[in-house]
């Protein structure tokens, strides 16, 4: 399965969330490839940190490569048969790399923090998705709230605003909380599935989102 994690707005935790989804998949015994298409190369830095950590700790293998540009989709298609799950970090901009990846993807996951500057980009994300689906009929999408508030009504307000695009971009019932553990593990190249005692709630949220992406539960 090819899963593109992307969107229009950066800074809402897409790359971090991707690493936790990918490591959770790897821990489940699946062959995992991460493709970094973002010019910031956050995932390549994460992979380098993981390689360093692996020198002293046994970790489940995950392959990470960088691919960018108009040929991104075709290169992913060549690599995908060797893996069970391919996670593509498309960054937070409407780029040629992201559009090319969406042409070969099975799922598109876009994340929104419950704040106005993120939610305002939903129209653009939906427009980009429609363009991709016109070429790739198998592509389906899921939106999810990330860094969700633990109290107050901002999550519900955000959900109400995103409901306008529910027909093309359904909102996942699971919300990823603003959990310190998820950010803490990134510099060491680790995922919450590899440190489950650090935050069981965070692991449960990531596991449920991964299940949803595979079509195992409903939005």
Structural domain includes residue 173: yes
Looking at residue 218, its pLDDT comes to 57
Structural domain includes residue 147: yes
Number of domains within the chain: 1
Structural domain includes residue 9: yes
For the stretch 101-131, pLDDT in tens is: 999 999 999 999 887 777 888 999 999 999 9
Structural domain includes residue 164: yes
Mean pLDDT of 157-181: 92
Structural domain includes residue 8: yes
CATH of the domain at 118: 3.40.50.300
Structural domain includes residue 30: yes
For the stretch 177-208, pLDDT in tens is: 999 999 999 999 999 999 999 999 999 999 99
Q: Which domain holds residue 9?
A: 2-213
Tokens of 83: 């893996």
For the stretch 45-54, pLDDT in tens is: 999 999 999 9
- All residues at 6 or more sequence positions from 4 whose CB lies less than 8 Å from its CB, including other chains: 88, 90, 98, 101, 102, 105, 107, 108, 109
Structural domain includes residue 219: no
- In angstroms, the CA 70 to CA 157 distance is 37
Structural domain includes residue 218: no
For the stretch 88-104, pLDDT in tens is: 999 777 889 999 999 99
Single pTM value for the model:
0.94
Looking at residue 197, its pLDDT comes to 97
């Amino acid at each position: 399965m090819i899963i593109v994690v992307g969107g229009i707005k950066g800074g809402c935790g897409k790359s971090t969330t991707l690493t936790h989804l990918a490591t959770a998949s790897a821990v489940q015994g699946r062959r995992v490839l991460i493709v970094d298409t973002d010019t910031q190369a956050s995932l390549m830095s994460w992979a380098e940190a993981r390689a360093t950590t692996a020198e002293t700790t046994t970790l489940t293998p995950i392959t990470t490569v960088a691919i960018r540009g108009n040929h991104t989709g075709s290169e992913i298609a060549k690599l995908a048969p060797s893996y069970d799950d391919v996670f593509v970090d498309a960054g937070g901009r409407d780029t040629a790399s992201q559009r090319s990846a969406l042409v070969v993807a099975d799922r598109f996951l876009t994340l929104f923090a419950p704040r106005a500057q993120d939610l305002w980009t939903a129209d653009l994300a939906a427009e980009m998705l429609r363009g991709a689906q016109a070429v790739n009929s198998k592509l389906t999408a899921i939106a999810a709230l990330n860094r969700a508030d633990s109290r107050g009504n901002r999550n519900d307000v955000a959900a109400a605003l995103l409901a306008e695009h529910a027909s093309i971009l359904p909102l996942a019932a699971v919300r990823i909380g603003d959990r310190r553990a998820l950010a803490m593990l990134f510099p060491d190249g680790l995922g919450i599935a590899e440190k489950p005692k650090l935050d069981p709630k965070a692991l449960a949220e990531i596991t449920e989102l991964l299940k949803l992406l595979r079509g195992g539960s409903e939005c």
